[in-house]
Amino acid sequence: MTSTTTTVPSAGPVAGSRSFLSRLREGDEIARVITFLFAASVVLVTLLLVFELWQGSVLPRHKFGFNFFRTSVWDPIFDQFGALPFIFGTTVTAGVALLIAVPLGIGAAIFLAELAPARLSDTLEFFIDLLAAVPSVIYGLLGVFIVVPLMREYIQPGLKNTLGFLPLFQGPAYGVGFLTAGVVLAIMVIPYIISVSREVLLSVPRDQREAALSLGATRWESTWKVVVPFARTGIFGSIFLALARALGETMAVTMVIGNTPTISASLFSPGYSIAAVIANEFTEATGDLYLQSLIELGLVLFLLTFILNGLARLLILLTSQRGSEMSHV
């Protein structure tokens, strides 16, 4: 295969040995250039986005500097803008959403991929894909009309009576707030986690399961100790997708979060997220500093997504190293 006499056109390292012209004629080079351009466009769009956000937020960056991240006043009348409550709200709601959605989603995916009969699994998958395609405003309405009253009447008083000693569950039950926004977000991202994780679990080679079973493992042991670790990277991928959606979700969050920039230990408190405040105030922001502060919030959201994604990736790296060490033992 390594000799130059081969006539079989092949990609990769071997292709380098043929002349540029022949590769061009055979279409390889054209395909390479075109697909490279497509891939590069992603980087281009990202850079353009950061550049525009950076350019558009000159005034607040000069006026507030790092205080923009530290202060929590958002006052268009007296021209004081701080991002802290919005960063807090975005992080907390996404955190609550993942806390609920990850165990539920992965559990459901394991059932669908490993334990359920194929027919049931395919039928349910159809419904899950449907759910993933529902527009977010619909989830917002669901939140306003169903989740908010349920929270106010039953769940929040219930939590207060049982776990009320924790600062997380104190204060008046408005129905709207961090917890409600987190729950609605969880409902929205669960289909992503299930759908992607199920595909990944299904693609685990059959030998892996058979090997575990032949060693005397039970069905559950082979699933939990062999199949799930094998599919770990893909499952983490589904969680990233869910995290990204939770961080950037706008419409559904703004309908149930209470739209008040607060930082509070209580999950019952109304709050605000970055995406929600941009959606609410951008069209009518009068005054350059106000408008540019909103643009800087966009930049902050970008950074936040970047950092959280980085942290999540680091987590994977650490756990997968530990996993491989264990497998060597």
Partner 1 sequence: MKRIAGILLVALALAGILWADTALSINGAGATFPYPMYSKWFDEYHRKNPNIQINYQSIGSGGGIKQVTEGTVDFGATDGPMNDEQLKAFQEKHGSGILHFPTVLGAVVPTYNIPGVEASLNFTPEALAGIFLGKITKWNDPAITDANKGIKLPANEIVVVHRAESSGTTYVWTDYLSKVSDEWKTKVGKGAAVNWPVGLGAKGNEAVTGTVKNTPNSVGYVELIYAEANKIPYGSVKNAAGVFVKASLAAVSAAAADAAKEMPEDFRVSITNVPGKSAYPISSFTWLLIPEKFSDAAKRDAIKGFVKWMLADGQTYAENLSYAKLPKEVVAMELKAIEKIQ
Where does this chain bind partner 1 (CB under 8 A)? 73-78, 80, 144, 148-149, 152, 172, 174-176, 254-255, 258-260, 270, 272, 280-281, 283-286
Nearer Cβ to partner 1, position 109 or 256? 256
Q: What is the largest CA-CA distance in the chain?
A: 80
Nearer Cβ to partner 1, position 149 or 167? 149
Q: How many residues does the chain have?
A: 329
Angle made by CA atoms 220, 223, 229, in degrees to the nearest 5: 140
Residues ≥6 apart with Cβ < 8 Å to 302? 49, 50, 53
Q: How far is the CB of 54 from partner 1 (least distance, A)?
A: 22
Q: How far is the CB of 286 from partner 1 (least distance, A)?
A: 5
Would you put residue 173 in left (φ > 0), alpha (ψ -120 to 50) or beta?
beta
User: Where are the strands (E) in 222-318, listed by range?
Assistant: none
Nearer Cβ to partner 1, position 106 or 297? 297
Structure letter (DSSP) for residue 283: G
Nearer Cβ to partner 1, position 193 or 255? 255
Nearer Cβ to partner 1, position 164 or 234? 164
Q: How far is the CB of 155 from partner 1 (least distance, A)?
A: 16
Nearer Cβ to partner 1, position 54 or 174? 174
CA–centroid distance for 51 within its chain = 23
Q: How far is the CB of 157 from partner 1 (least distance, A)?
A: 13
Q: How far is the CB of 255 from partner 1 (least distance, A)?
A: 8
Q: How far is the CB of 135 from partner 1 (least distance, A)?
A: 17
